[in-house]
Amino acid sequence: MLKSVHYINQFFGQVGGEEMADFEPVLYEGALGCTGIFNSLAGNVEVISTIVCGDNFFASRKEEALERILSMLENVSFDFFVAGPAFNAGRYGIACGEVCRAVQERFAVPAVTSMNEENPGVQLFSKDVYIMRGGKRATFMKQDMEKLVSFSEKIALKQPVLPAVMEGYFPRGVRHEVFLEDLGMKPVMASDRAFEMLLAKLRGGVYQTELPMPALDRVPIAPAVKSLRDVRLALVTSGGIVPRNNPDRIQSCSATKWGKYDISSLASGLPAPEYKTIHAGYDPGEADRNPNVVVPLDAVRRYQSEDRLGEVDEFFYTTVGTGTTQGEAARMGREIAALLHERNIGAVLLTAT
């Protein structure tokens, strides 16, 4: 029998309603509240401990709540983790997502939860955690719990996981190569499938794309800088320029890392061969000969000496933009932007290759 720990809020843990939402996290042995439903439906898995935490406690003291929950679990032996179902309860959904993600990271066990598509937790955590599609209200408890149980068993038993739409979890943005036979479907060649789609489209019929395009983020337009003499400018690139020994081991393609390197002492630009590119998506000849063709520090220094520009940040910021997933690129962008914000940068010159 595989063992699980279940996270639920004060309401489903039968502590109380909104008046008890500040309830501190507690670990109970055995099943409690709605956890009993889970165990009654499960055949190969069993919840052996239940964590109950008030929604407000979690929302207002997130770091503390997570740390306390993780330390409670240090001495518990379990094979996977379950949270919810959270239905359309926003604070509860976010708590379920946070706890599942943290438990996965700390204990390297899979975690599963359940939410309604309108729960803000779906948007925040569906890429990191399996979230089963759930109902809006607690009246869906039994149905949602059934889905949670059967998928949990699958995960816990390390059975192959089918695509999101077939299993009923929210898409995680992960693509796998699969044979249609293995999904229990009739094998049809890709060209035939594409042709069927085209014909359906021409007839005005229904078809389902196999490669949905990611929704695009629109960034609000930043107001103009009044004068570049009065702000600090930073240089950023996806062109893979790094110090010669690539100290942070940024990957040459499908990058998940970025680096920042001190240029404060470089008065006339980036010297070669001290700087070079590690970008595997273009011929490095020119960038290695003169890294300023990608990160134009030499021209920036000239404008500084001509008093066109004020301060330039002591670092430049760099990663590799080839084969890099949109998700990773967005994460690195957010991390770099947060640091630029912290460093009081007023303007950014970004070169992409």
Partner 1 sequence: MCNLTNIALSVGVNRLVPTVSVPYPLGNPLLRPEDEWALRYHRVGVALDALETEVNGQTIFPVKI
Contact residues toward partner 1 (CB under 8 A) are 216-219, 221-228, 239, 281-287, 289-290, 292-294, 296, 298-300, 302-303, 308-309, 347, 349-353
Task: Using the minimum distance from each CB to partner 1, give the nearer residue, 115 or 294.
Answer: 294
Rounded to the nearest whole angstrom, what is the least distance from the CB of residue 268 to partner 1 in the complex?
Answer: 12
CB 93 within 8 A of CB 121: yes
Rounded to the nearest whole angstrom, what is the least distance from the CB of residue 334 to partner 1 in the complex?
Answer: 14
Task: Using the minimum distance from each CB to partner 1, give the nearer residue, 108 or 222.
Answer: 222
Going through 17-69 in order, the beta strands assigned E by DSSP cover 26-29, 45-53
Closest by Cα among 16, 105, 9, 17 to 58: 9
Closest by Cα among 111, 94, 128 to 6: 111
SS3 277: strand
SS3 206: coil
CB 25 within 8 A of CB 69: yes
User: Residue 12 and residue 210: Cα distance in Å, rounded?
Assistant: 39
Task: Using the minimum distance from each CB to partner 1, give the nearer residue, 204 or 285.
Answer: 285
Report the relative pairing of strands 26-29 and 45-53 from DSSP bridges: antiparallel
Rounded to the nearest whole angstrom, what is the least distance from the CB of residue 257 to partner 1 in the complex?
Answer: 21
Task: Using the minimum distance from each CB to partner 1, give the nearer residue, 86 or 228.
Answer: 228
How far is Cα of residue 44 from the mean position of the Cα atoms in its chain? 30
Rounded to the nearest whole angstrom, what is the least distance from the CB of residue 221 to partner 1 in the complex?
Answer: 5
> Residue 170 carries which side chain, given as an amino acid letter?
F
Task: Using the minimum distance from each CB to partner 1, give the nearer residue, 123 or 351.
Answer: 351
Which residues make Cβ contacts (< 8 Å) with residue 54, sequence separation at least 6? 9, 10, 15, 20, 21, 22, 23, 24
CB 63 within 8 A of CB 107: no
Rounded to the nearest whole angstrom, what is the least distance from the CB of residue 272 to partner 1 in the complex?
Answer: 12
How far is Cα of residue 286 from the mean position of the Cα atoms in its chain? 35
Task: Using the minimum distance from each CB to partner 1, give the nearer residue, 142 or 308.
Answer: 308
Rounded to the nearest whole angstrom, what is the least distance from the CB of residue 239 to partner 1 in the complex?
Answer: 7
Rounded to the nearest whole angstrom, what is the least distance from the CB of residue 222 to partner 1 in the complex?
Answer: 7
3-state secondary structure 304-322: HHCCCCCCEEEEEEECECC
Rounded to the nearest whole angstrom, what is the least distance from the CB of residue 170 to partner 1 in the complex?
Answer: 24
Task: Using the minimum distance from each CB to partner 1, give the nearer residue, 2 or 253.
Answer: 253
CB 214 within 8 A of CB 329: no
Task: Using the minimum distance from each CB to partner 1, give the nearer residue, 290 or 325.
Answer: 290
